[in-house]
A and B are shown apart, each in its own frame.
Chain A
Amino acid sequence: MTDLTRRDESVIAPPATPKLVRLHPFGLDGARTAPISLATALVLVGAWFLVAEFRLVPPLFLPGPQEVLAQFLAIAEEGYAGATLWEHVSASLFRIFTAAFVAASLGIPLGLAMGLNRWAKGVFDTPIEFYWPLPPLAYLPLMIIWLGIGEVSKIVLLTLAMFAPVCLSAQAGVRALPIERVNAALSLGATRWQIFREIVLPSALPEILTGLRIGIGVGWSTLVAAELIAATRGIGFMIMSASHFLATDVVFVGIGVIAVWAFAFSYGMRLLEAWLVPWKGKL
């Protein structure tokens, strides 16, 4: 009883620099992983260096880091296969961006519609479920026959690869919507459109962003296939043409460039997520 009634000033006044605490998270929840990742990268590069240095693998198969770096600088300076490094990179970026834009602006609305509407789900389920497990290389010849060897066939190929994850995740986002939230909005007088705008869309947003992230990842991994189609520019093209001459170091440069850009994209998406859905996992 005395605990309740006692007014102990030292308890009530906070210390000058209070120790700030927060809930123990489950999983990672923003814990710093960057130093660990950096250390891992250093270890991997070190191992690579040692393997190459002591000729455990012939240099034709595995050039050392110094050689790759030298080749990178050379390509950055003089270009490779008739185009500068930036021309290769920008050609690939343009394709990926365009495809991501098209895939998102078709896939998100369609996915939401499929989560909400019987007809949309019924009509589009079969074609999407049918095409999306197919490897892009399998329908590549069709793209060439139907759409020719220009930019269009490359972008369509990438779009098809990115579309499915975006569309499926938007659907999943709608399905995960708790019915109480909808009921609460209905009893506050919301119209169907208001429910969609104020409840469905924000509720599905975390899943949509995850889908976009996966989609862009799939896009990068389809890039080389897309640039098999009579390209003269592009990182994927650069890798393919280097492989014809067994220029392993150039292949490594290409892989490195793709990895760096893919990482940057992924990081950007994470920032976007932190900005758009700061509440994720909190309620």
Chain B
Amino acid sequence: MLQVHNASVFFPARDGRVVHALDRASLDIDANSIVVALGASGCGKSTLLNAIAGFLPLSDGSITLDGRPVERPGADRGVVFQKDTLLPWKSVAENVALGLKFAGVPARRRRERAEELLGLVGLDGFADSTPHELSGGMRQRVGIARALATDPKILLMDEPFGALDSLTREQMQELLIDVWARTGKRIFFITHSIEEALFLGTTVVVMSPRPGRIVARFELDFVRQFAAERDVRAILSSPRFAELYDEIRDIVHRPHHAGPHHEGRPQ
């Protein structure tokens, strides 16, 4: 289990002031769950993810993965970035297998695994292309395959589909659910689309800015329903979905104050 406990982050701003980017955020990510962080721009979502990934030390609080504190980046936490970070001098297969290369896996085995993963994300036959021959959505899929290659305990995704058109985005969401259902990976996913959060999350945490904090939490099962029935329409048109959509919308758009945390737990 990944546990974030009272995590706070203060950044030094240029003019000497202090930015309170994250305020006592607590979060558990269990096996088989997708935790989605949702909130307006600047509410500390990326800050939280960077801390979990180990790119950013906390000012206060703690993060543990299966009981061990998280201090630096590592192959046990796969990261999918918003901007793709594929290496332009390597082929798609080499990019996917990069983590395996770092781990010292022999070349033949790397290649097999890369092809297997490319199949999983629907990119068979692109192993020998270079990244700049792929579309944005395809690159993002390569990024997911690369993060999965080292078999991490958890997948951290910072608005991975933010730059994609809505059609591709839907395909990618379904693909992610497939991957999740097949591999049982824990996923921490950032978005500012309410719909995406509702569709993907087994847990949705809503965050508010200045200081960045978690203001609401919802336990959902639309994603399990989709994994079982594969019927998007039924989910999107269900009254529960619309209800939750409005409720979250209200929270996101509500003027923020430093009052007690709202803990919505419809279930």
Closest-CB distance, A63 to chain B (whole angstroms)? 50
B122-155 interface mask toward A, CB cutoff 8 Å, 1 = contact, 0 = none? 0000000011100000000000001101100000
- Is A180 interfacial (CB 8 A cutoff)? yes
A90 near B: Cβ within 8 Å? no
Residues of chain A with a CB closer than 8 A to B99's CB: 188-189
Task: With A180-B81, A183-B79, A188-B150 as known contacts, state yes or no: A283 contacts B74, CB within 8 Å.
Answer: no
Residues of A170-216 whose CB lies within 8 A of B:
178, 180-181, 183-191, 194, 198-199, 202
Which residue of B53, B85, B99, B132 has the most chain A CB atoms within 10 A of its CB atom? Answer: B85
Residue-wise, chain B 66-96 has the 8 Å CB interface mask toward A (1 for contact) of 0000001111011101010111110000000
Smallest distance from the beta carbon of B114 to chain A beta carbons, Å? Answer: 13
Find out whether the CB atom of A189 lies under 8 angstroms from the CB atom of B89.
no
Tally of contact residues, B, Cβ under 8 A: 29
B103 close to A (CB within 8 Å):
yes
**Min CB–CB distance B188 → chain A (angstroms):** 13
Query: Across the interface, which residues of B come within 8 angstroms of A181, CB to CB?
Result: 85, 87
Q: What 1/0 flags go to B30-51 for Cβ under 8 Å of A?
A: 0000000000000000000000
Partner of B101, one of A183, A198, A277: A198
From B88, B102, B146, contact of A190 by CB (8 A): B102
Asked if B10 CB lies within 8 Å of chain A CBs, one says no
What is the CB-to-nearest-CB distance from A198 to chain B, in angstroms, rounded to a whole number?
A: 7
Q: A187-B79, A282-B132 are in contact. Are A202 and B98 (CB under 8 A)?
A: no
Return chain B residues, CB-CB under 8 Å to A187. 53-55, 73-75, 77-79, 147
CB contacts (< 8 Å) of A178 on chain B: these are: 85
Q: Is the interface of B mostly helix, strand, loop or mixed?
A: loop
Bound-state CA distance A277–B55 (Å) is: 29
Confirm or deny: A279 has a beta carbon within 8 angstroms of a beta carbon on chain B: yes
Residue ID in chain B nearest A276 by CB atoms: B89
Given contacts A198-B98, A279-B132, contact A186 B88 (CB under 8 A): no
**Residues of B contacting A183 with CB < 8 Å?**
53, 55, 73, 79, 81, 85
Known contacts A190-B102, A283-B131; is-contact A184 B85 (Cβ 8 Å) = yes
Find out whether the CB atom of B87 lies under 8 angstroms from the CB atom of A199.
Answer: yes
Q: A180-B83, A188-B99 are in contact. Are A282 and B88 (CB under 8 A)?
A: yes
A198 to B95, CA, bound (A): 11
B117 CB, min distance to chain A CBs, angstroms: 13
In the assembled complex, which residues on chain B have CB atoms less than 8 Å from the CB atom of A277?
A: 89
- Which of B78, B89, B146 has the most C-beta atoms of chain A within 10 angstroms of its own C-beta? B89
A interface vs B, CB < 8 Å? 178, 180-181, 183-191, 194, 198-199, 202, 277, 279, 282-283
- Nearest 9 A-B pairs (CB), nearest first? A189-B75, A188-B99, A186-B73, A279-B88, A283-B88, A184-B85, A187-B79, A282-B132, A187-B73
